[in-house]
Amino acid sequence: MSSLSYDPNWTQTLTTSFMTRAFIAGLCIAVAAGIIGYFTIARQSTFAAHALAHIGLPGATGAVLLGLPVSFGMGAFALGGALVIAGLGKRASQREIATGTVLAFATGLGLYFARLSSSASQQFQSILFGSILTISPNQIVGFIVFDVILLAIMAVVYRPMLFSSLDEQVAQAKGVPITLMNVLFMAILAGVITITVPAVGTLLIFALVVTPAATANMMTASPFASMVTAMVICLISIWGGLILATMFPAPPSFAIVTLSTLFWIIMKIVEAVRNR
Amino acid sequence: MAHTDTTGACITCTDASIKRGNKLIWSEGTFTIPRGSVTAIVGTNGAGKTTLMKAELGLIPLATGSMEVLGKPAGQMNSHIGYVPQTYTTEVDSSLTAEQSVLLGLTGTRFGIHIVTKAQKRKAYEAMEFIGIADKAKMRLSELSGGLRQRVAIAQALVSDPELLMLDEPLANLDLVSQRATVHILAKLNRELHMTIQAVAHDLNMLLPILTGAVYLLDGHPHYANLNKVLDSRLLTHLYGTNVQVVTTPQGDMFVKPTSDRLPNVSQHTHKAEELAFLHNTGTTPKGQA
C-alpha cells in the first residue's frame, strides 16, 4: 500500500457484514464511553482509565494463550485492577507514579504472554491497536448487553454518582455511599474499557473514552448534555473513522483517533478565541 | 427558608475522644453549643479542628463518650446540616455551572430517575440570590474565583434549608474583600434565618465581629466558651503557644495579634473579658474605660 490511495469501491466495502458489525460496535462503544468519560474526568481518574487498559493487556494475551476469548481475559484483569484501585480509595486513582509503574509492568507481562504462543503473538498487535473490523456477532451481543446493564445502573445511581464525583466530601456528609459509588464507577470503567479495546486497542483508548468527554465539556456545561454530546462526538469519530479508512485505505484505529483528536483541538482553539 | 428553633442545645458533647489508629487526637470533650450561635473551632495546626467537625457529622467515630447534634447522635441529622468543606481552594477544571452545583445540594442524594423541577430551580435561585451570586448562576465553576466558588458551596449547603451550617476554614486563601463578603454572608444567615453557624478557623480576626463563642482545642481537649472568655489574652497565648494580645483600634475594632510586632499609630491595650463582651454587644467602648 502506498502512502495515501483512494479506493473507488469504498461504498461497496461499507455494505459488507463486517462493516455493519463495526458500525453497531461503534454505536455501543459511543454510548458507554460518553457516559463513563464524563465521570472519569469529574473524578480526576483519567490516568486510571488509561492504566486499566494496560492492566487488561496481560489478561487479554494470557486468555489467548489459554484458548479463552480475548475480552474475557481483558475484562477479568481490568476488573481486578479496577477493584484494587477502588479499594485503595479515590485518591489512589490519582497516584500517578504507582499507577504508571503498574501499567508499565502489566504491559511487559502482556508482551511476555504474547510471545509464549504464536496465536497470542498474532493477536498482540490487534489488542494493542484495535481491530474493529474483526468484531464477531457474539461480541456485538456482549456489547449490547453491557450497554443495557450500564444504562439500567445509571438510571438508578446517576445523581448520587454525580454528586460523589463532583463534591465527594459534601456527598459523604449528606449520606451518599461514596465507597459503593467509587467501586461501582471503577467496575463500570473496567467494563467500558473491555468493550472499547477491540475498536482502538489498549494504547489508543484514551482518545475514545476521555477525549470526547473533554471536548463535550468545553461545548456544554450541563452534565447530562455533556454525556450526550460526548456520545455523539465518539460516534462521529468511530463512524467517520471507519468511512475514511475505507475510502483511503488505512488502519481504522488511526482514522478514529485522528478525528477524535481533531475535534478536541478545534474546541480548544474555539475556547481560546472565546476567552481572549 | 424555614425559621428554625433557636432555643436549646445544637451540639452536645459528653466526654468525647477520638483516636486515629493508636494516636489520641483529642479527649475529654465535654461542651454544649447553643442553637443560634456563631462559633469558631480554633486551635493550632494538627490539633484536630477538622476532625472535630467530621465527628460532628458522624464521619469519624468517637473512641469514647457521646456527641449529639440537633438532638440526635452525630450523623443522624445530617440532612439538616449544611457542610462546606475547604475544596473551593483547589483549582477546579469543572465545567459545571454554579446553578447545577447548587442544585446538587437538593438532588444529589436521590437514587432513581428524577427530572429537576421548577420548584427546585427556584429554590436554587433563591439560595444564590441570598448569597449574592444569582448573576453568576450560568457561569462555570472553573470561571469563578476561589471566593465566588466558596459562595457557590455555601449556596449549595443553604439550598436544603439547614438548621446548622458547618464550614471548614471558610476564610483561608481568600483575599480581604472575599473574606469580608463571607463574614457578612454568615452574619446574615445567622441574623435573618437564625441559622447556627460553626466554622473551623485558624485566624479569628475576621470572624470576631460575628462570633458568639468558640470551641478551642487546648492541650488535647476541646472546650467551649462564650466569646468573652475565649478572647482572654492569656488563654490565647496558651492556645497558640506564642504571645498573643487582644488589641482594639481607636475605631473600636478589635483583633488578635502576636505581641512582638507593634503596629504604628494604634493604641494597644489588653481587654478584660467583661469589657470585650460589652464591646461585642454594643460596638462601643464602655464609659470610663477607653
Task: Dump pLDDT digits (tens) for A223-247.
Answer: 999 999 999 999 999 999 999 999 9
Domains and CATH numbers, chain A: 10-204 (1.10.3470.10)
B60-73 pLDDT, tens per residue?
999 999 999 998 89
B121-133 pLDDT, tens per residue?
999 999 999 998 9
The arithmetic mean of pLDDT across residues A85-114, rounded, is 78
Residue B276, pLDDT score: 54
In three-state form (DSSP H/G/I as H, E/B as E, the rest C), the secondary structure along A129-181 is HCCHHHCCHHHHHHHHHHHHHHHHHHHHHHHHHHHHHHCHHHHHHCCCCHHHH
Q: Is B180 exposed, middle or buried (0-12, 13-18, 19+ CB in 10 A)?
A: middle
Size of chain B, expressed as the number of residues it contains? 290
- Smallest Cα distance from B6 to chain A, Å: 23
The arithmetic mean of pLDDT across residues A170-195, rounded, is 93
CATH architecture designation of domain B9-230: 3-Layer(aba) Sandwich (3.40)
Residue B202 one-letter amino acid: H
Asked if A173's CB is within 8 angstroms of B111's CB, the reply is no
pLDDT band at B287 (very low <50, low <70, confident <90, very high): very low
Residues of chain A with C-beta less than 8 angstroms from the C-beta of B110? 159-160
Residues of chain B with C-beta less than 8 angstroms from the C-beta of A172? 59
Whether residue B228 is predicted with pLDDT greater than 90 in this model: the reply is no
Cell readout for B107 is: 438532588
pLDDT band at A4 (very low <50, low <70, confident <90, very high): confident
The position carrying cell 447534634 is B69
Single pTM value for the model: 0.84
CA B166/CA B56 separation, integer angstroms: 9
B15-35 pLDDT, tens per residue?
899 998 888 888 888 999 999
Three-class SS state of B248? strand
| Cβ neighbour number for residue B273 with a 10 Å cutoff | 17
pLDDT band at B232 (very low <50, low <70, confident <90, very high): low
Which of A26-35, A89-98, A146-155 has the weakest average pLDDT?
A89-98
The arithmetic mean of pLDDT across residues A188-204, rounded, is 90
The arithmetic mean of pLDDT across residues B40-52, rounded, is 87
Residue B2, pLDDT score: 44
Alpha helix stretches (DSSP H) within chain B: 49-56, 98-107, 118-131, 146-158, 176-193, 227-230, 233-240, 273-282
Domain chopping of chain B, boundaries: 9-230, 232-290
- A127 and A57 Cβ atoms separated by less than 8 Å: yes
CA B66/CA B253 separation, integer angstroms: 38
Residues of chain B with C-beta less than 8 angstroms from the C-beta of A171? 108-109
Contacts of A130 (CB under 8 A, 6+ apart): A197, A198, A199, A200, A201, A204, A252, A253
Residue B277, pLDDT score: 56
Comparing CA positions, the residue from A257, A242, A248, A251 lying closest to residue A18 is A242
- A60 and A127 Cβ atoms separated by less than 8 Å: yes
Three-class SS state of B89? helix
More confident residue, B220 or A152: A152
Mean per-residue pLDDT of chain A: 90
Q: How far is CA B118 from CA B108, B137, B262, in A?
A: 16, 15, 56
CA A91/CA B153 separation, integer angstroms: 22
Residue B266, pLDDT score: 47
Show which residues on chain A lie within 8 Å of chain B, measured between beta carbons.
41-42, 155-160, 162-163, 166-167, 169-176, 217-218, 220-223, 226
Rg of chain A over Cα atoms, rounded to whole angstroms, equals 19
Q: How far apart are the first and last CA of chain B?
A: 42
